[in-house]
């Protein structure tokens, strides 16, 4: 499976390089802490590697993006963050994506009705809001913009990790 | 044409169309097929959701492999910080 073409808007080489350095830095810190753990903590370590990956993604992007801010906030409040946090879908300035979707699909027959929640969001949009951190109360334009940036960074992070795995496995 | 549609609404829908096509360009399936036809945005959103999920899965798998590799490297006495120095320009 070949990785997607890197768009030229953000300099992809510098993003990859910055991600690599930051991820290695986080891994290093991980290893220093880990010297007290024994081998039964394998699960915790792989969980920490995942956290390090997300943390390095968010740290490199900084507070420029809603998703990175959300991740950084979650990491800082990891102990306090409860699962009971309810998300209110505010309808103040939502230009509902569902309307544009219906406009674009008028020529195609939908055999099953698209799920639309009480706020007018389609099922896909709701799923997307759950997948991308920090976009629960964003309008449709912002949501799409954040999703594009999130995908770019995720893909680059995966590439960095793949390169590291290849590198480490040859040593 | 609904007369209630103001110019603002129309420009915003054009903006959304632009954003959706940019999103489509990021998805892996778009680079393989050279179709210029309009794909319904619900399909694009669905593919985006699936792509994000698959990227996360790949990241998690790579993270597990990485942690196993680090573990075996530590046991063999290799210091990870050496690698970092090697990668520095």
Q: Which residue segment(s) compose the domain that B19 sits in?
A: 2-62
Residues A155 and A4 sit within 8 Å (Cβ to Cβ)? yes
Task: Indicate if ipTM > 0.85.
Answer: no
Q: Is A62 left (phi over 0), alpha (psi -120 to 50) or beta?
A: left
Distances (CA, A) of A59 to A116, B3, B12, B86: 35, 47, 31, 23
Low-confidence winner among A80-84, B6-10, B63-67 (lowest mean pLDDT)? A80-84
Segment A6-34 shows an average pLDDT of 72
Q: What is the pLDDT of residues B29-55, one digit of tens each?
A: 766 555 556 778 888 888 999 999 999
Q: Which residues, listed in sequence order, are joined to residue A122 by a DSSP beta bridge?
A: A116
Q: How many CB pairs under 8 A join A and B?
A: 154
Q: Is residue B73 part of a domain?
A: no
Domains identified in chain B, total number: 1
- Does the beta-carbon distance from A144 to B16 stay under 8 Å? yes
Choice between A89 and A166, residue whose per-residue pLDDT is larger: A166
Cα(B46)–Cα(B49) distance, integer angstroms: 5
* Domain-located, residue B88: no
* Mean pLDDT of all residues in A32-49: 69
- Domain for residue B37, yes or no? yes
Does residue B26 belong to any structural domain of this protein?
yes
Residue B74 lies in a domain: no
Please state at what angle helix A140-169 crosses helix A42-61, rounded to 10 degrees.
Answer: 130
Task: Please give the mean pLDDT across all residues of chain A.
Answer: 74
Give the per-residue pLDDT at A93. Answer: 45
Question: Which chain B positions have a beta carbon within 8 Å of A24's beta carbon?
Answer: 80, 83-84, 87
The answer to the question of residue B67 being in a domain is no
CB contact under 8 A, B12 and A95: yes
pLDDT confidence band for A26 (50 / 70 / 90): confident
pTM: 0.72
In a domain, residue B7? The reply is: yes
**Does some domain include residue B20?**
yes
Extract the runs of DSSP E, i.e. beta strands, from chain B. Answer: none
């Amino acid at each position: 499976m070949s990785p997607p073409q890197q768009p030229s808007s953000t300099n992809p080489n510098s993003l990859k390089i910055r991600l690599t350095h930051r991820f290695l830095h986080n891994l290093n810190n991980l290893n220093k802490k880990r010297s007290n753990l024994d081998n039964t903590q394998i699960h915790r370590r792989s969980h920490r590697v995942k956290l390090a990956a997300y943390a390095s993604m968010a740290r490199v992007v900084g507070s420029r993006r809603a998703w990175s801010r959300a991740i950084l906030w979650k990491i800082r409040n990891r102990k306090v963050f409860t699962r009971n946090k309810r998300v209110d879908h505010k309808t103040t300035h939502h230009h509902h994506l569902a309307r544009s979707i219906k406009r674009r699909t008028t020529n195609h027959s939908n055999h099953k009705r698209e799920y639309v929640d009480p706020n007018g969001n389609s099922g896909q949009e709701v799923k997307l809001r759950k997948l991308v951190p920090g976009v629960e109360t964003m309008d449709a334009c912002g949501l799409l913009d954040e999703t594009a940036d999130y995908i770019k960074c995720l893909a680059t992070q995966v590439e960095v990790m793949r390169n590291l795995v290849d590198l480490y496995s040859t040593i | 044409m609904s007369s209630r549609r103001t110019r603002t609404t129309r420009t915003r829908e054009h903006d959304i169309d632009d954003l959706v096509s940019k999103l489509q360009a990021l998805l892996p399936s778009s680079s393989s097929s050279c179709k210029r036809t309009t794909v319904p945005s619900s399909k694009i959103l669905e593919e985006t959701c699936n792509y994000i999920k698959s990227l996360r899965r790949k990241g998690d798998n790579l993270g597990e492999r990485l942690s196993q590799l680090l573990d075996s490297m530590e046991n063999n006495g290799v210091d990870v910080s050496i690698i970092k120095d090697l990668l520095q320009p």
